[in-house]
């Protein structure tokens, strides 16, 4: 089964952390990735040109040990989120790049939220410190407000001042990544099993056919292995590393460009090694149809508050993820504050994974899709393709303009999760043939039961020309001939009086129904 390390505890070996670089546009993500790649130039063979294959490994010296780190070579959080939306988590640690001359900007906060939502530790690279106007202290202060407190201030986040341009302190940044990994993650995998992992990037090469950069997560991938990657399969014909050199095997956390697949897989899809080509083909075909069905199902199924209620199993604790967007920061704060006051017991908790001022953006929808969150819009509307995307991804957006209304609805939904659910079932219908007016007991409807049964204690609604004119009513009385009846069946006449509704007419249909409790699965 995918995702399991096989073998004994003793088979597990330390694997390098996999790092994604995120941050605001122009803060130096690309430059930093380039600088780190070049700084490691000593390791590659003379004359070789470093290639962009989607990921690369560097070595760092920490406490006298040579340690490896894998970088996903696509800056920004789009790739990160796209992978998470597929349910894949490639990243162990995020480097948050913040330009010291610009400080924390909207995409800095977005990146931070994406990493937090994924539960990925963050190392902050305070970049561009070569610039005279750089103010690294200010960056520390700003990020502290977002819960990233530097170690030197007593927090547990590592901040490193760097210059991607002058290649300053890059070694310190790598060291911080290793120290963070060692302190908070248990990065081990069994190299002695068939390989499994993720596709980081793939394309169709004119000369070489489908080419996929994969990241091995467990086991060791070897030339000659039969693999399935997304809808593609085949025997690994050759593997190249980030220097364009041929390699024969790749161990956990090692990126490798794989040749020999029949089709181009998607980023974030998994690959596995299987027994032989025939098996590979069978699995690939099954996977493709299953993936297609799953994607369609995901789009059809909206994750609504009600779905969340339904998914809630008794006794299991559940988190409701919310993204708050408001017109002004005051309203967002007030909303978040009010939400934190909601007391729904231990079984349910509300987690605000992102908040912000302004329209609901595609990035908001992206994060919601990846984190199964609901977006709350307070006096704001979606922007650009956000609505379209939300429809496609099945993300629910709720709009409010009054805080207490938002709170009431969310509270009611959360509390509702703990109560039984009811389902309506129709009992029968009767047609009003005559009306007898009585000032004492109300208007009496002389009816013919045309289908099913009308019960004295059932709920009823009144239909006129197929429209509902009154709903969820009780009967004040039900008579068959002159006698009170507990029920009257199809084909019989009856007289009935509705409680709190007297505006009945000849030809109206009285529909009786009952609410049945449906057991939770």
Positions in the binding site for ligand GDP (CB under 6 A): 23, 25-31, 75, 127-128, 130-131, 163-165
Does residue 75 have a known ligand-binding role?
yes
CB 361, min distance to ligand GDP, A: 18
Q: In whole angstroms, what is the distance from residue 171 CA to residue 242 CA?
A: 20
SS3 at position 79: helix
Residue 170 corresponds to which tokens in the numbers above? 């890059």
User: Does residue 219 contact residue 196 with C-beta atoms inside 8 Å?
Assistant: yes
SS3 at position 204: strand
Does residue 420 have a known ligand-binding role?
no
CB 256, min distance to ligand GDP, A: 25
Does residue 130 have a known ligand-binding role?
yes
Q: Which is nearer to ligand GDP, 105 or 463 (CB)?
A: 105
Does residue 28 have a known ligand-binding role?
yes
Q: Which is nearer to ligand GDP, 84 or 128 (CB)?
A: 128
Torsion angles phi and psi, residue 31, rounded to 5: -60, -40
Q: Which residues contact 13 (CB under 8 A, 6 or more apart)?
A: 188, 189, 190, 191, 252
Does residue 127 have a known ligand-binding role?
yes
Q: Which residues contact 112 (CB under 8 A, 6 or more apart)?
A: 96, 122, 143, 146, 148
Q: In whole angstroms, what is the distance from residue 134 CA to residue 123 CA?
A: 19
CB 305, min distance to ligand GDP, A: 37
Burial class of 27 by CB neighbour count within 10 A (0 to 12, 13 to 18, 19+) = buried
Q: Which is nearer to ligand GDP, 37 or 67 (CB)?
A: 37
CB 180, min distance to ligand GDP, A: 21
Q: In whole angstroms, what is the distance from residue 492 CA to residue 480 CA?
A: 8
Q: Which is nearer to ligand GDP, 170 or 352 (CB)?
A: 170
CB 26, min distance to ligand GDP, A: 4
Q: Which is nearer to ligand GDP, 29 or 140 (CB)?
A: 29
Q: Which is nearer to ligand GDP, 15 or 31 (CB)?
A: 31
Q: Identify the CA nearest to 192 among candidates 10, 11, 4.
A: 11
Q: Which is nearer to ligand GDP, 164 or 413 (CB)?
A: 164
Does residue 50 have a known ligand-binding role?
no
CB 34, min distance to ligand GDP, A: 8
Does residue 23 have a known ligand-binding role?
yes
Q: With residue 479 as reference, give the H or E element that holds it.
A: strand 475-480
Q: Which residue is nearest to ligand GDP (CB)?
A: 28
Q: Determine how many CB atoms are found less than 10 A away from the CB of residue 195.
A: 25
Does residue 471 have a known ligand-binding role?
no
CB 360, min distance to ligand GDP, A: 24
Q: Which residues are annotated as a binding site for GTP?
A: 23-30, 73-77, 127-130
Q: Which residues are annotated as a binding site?
A: 23-30, 73-77, 127-130
């Amino acid at each position: 089964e995918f995702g399991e390390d096989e073998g004994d505890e003793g088979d597990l070996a330390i694997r390098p952390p996999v790092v994604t670089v995120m941050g605001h546009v122009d803060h130096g993500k690309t430059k930093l990735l380039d600088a780190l790649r070049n700084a490691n130039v000593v390791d590659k063979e003379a004359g070789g040109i470093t290639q962009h294959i989607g990921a690369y490994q560097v070595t760092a010296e920490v406490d006298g040990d040579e340690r490896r780190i894998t970088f996903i070579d696509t800056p920004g959080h789009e790739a990160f989120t796209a992978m998470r939306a597929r349910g894949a988590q490639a990243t162990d640690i995020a480097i948050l790049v913040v330009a010291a001359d610009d400080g924390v900007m909207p995409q800095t906060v977005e990146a931070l939220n994406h990493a937090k939502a994924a539960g990925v530790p963050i190392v902050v690279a305070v970049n561009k410190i070569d610039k005279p106007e750089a103010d690294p202290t200010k960056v520390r202060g700003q990020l502290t407000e977002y819960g990233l407190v530097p170690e030197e201030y007593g927090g547990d986040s590592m901040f490193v001042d760097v210059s991607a341009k002058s290649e300053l302190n890059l070694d310190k940044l790598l060291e911080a990544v290793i120290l963070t990994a060692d302190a908070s993650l248990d990065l081990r995998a069994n190299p002695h099993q068939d390989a499994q992992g993720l596709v980081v990037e793939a394309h169709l090469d004119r000369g070489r056919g489908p080419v996929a950069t994969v990241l091995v997560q467990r086991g060791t991938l070897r030339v000659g292995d039969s693999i399935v990657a997304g809808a593609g399969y085949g025997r690994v014909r050759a593997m190249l590393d980030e220097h364009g050199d041929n390699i024969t095997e790749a161990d956990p956390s090692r990126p490798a460009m794989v040749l020999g697949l029949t089709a181009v897989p998607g980023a974030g899809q998994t690959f596995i090694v299987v027994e032989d080509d025939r098996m590979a083909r069978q699995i690939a075909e099954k996977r493709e149809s299953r993936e297609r069905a799953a994607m369609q199902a995901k789009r059809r199924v909206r994750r609504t508050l009600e779905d969340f209620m339904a998914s809630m199993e008794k006794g299991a604790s559940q988190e409701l993820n919310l993204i708050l967007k408001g017109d002004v920061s005051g309203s967002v704060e007030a909303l978040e504050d009010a939400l934190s006051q909601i007391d729904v017991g231990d079984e349910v908790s509300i987690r605000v994974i992102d908040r912000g001022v302004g329209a609901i953006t595609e990035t908001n929808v992206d994060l919601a899709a990846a984190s199964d969150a609901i977006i709350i819009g307070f006096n704001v509307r979606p922007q650009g393709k956000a609505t379209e995307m939300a429809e496609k991804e099945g993300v629910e957006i709720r709009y409010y303009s009054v805080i207490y209304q938002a709170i009431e609805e969310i509270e009611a939904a959360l509390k509702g999760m703990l109560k039984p659910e009811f389902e309506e079932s129709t009992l029968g219908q009767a047609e009003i043939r005559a009306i007898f007016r009585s000032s004492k007991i109300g208007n009496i409807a002389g009816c013919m039961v045309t289908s099913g049964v009308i019960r004295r204690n059932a709920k009823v609604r009144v239909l006129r020309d197929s429209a509902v004119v009154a709903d969820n009513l009780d009967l004040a009385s039900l008579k068959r001939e002159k006698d009170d009846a507990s029920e009257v069946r199809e084909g019989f006449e009856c007289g009935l009086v509705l409680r709190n509704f007297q505006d009945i007419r000849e030809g109206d249909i009285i529909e009786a129904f009952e609410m049945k409790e449906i057991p939770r699965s």
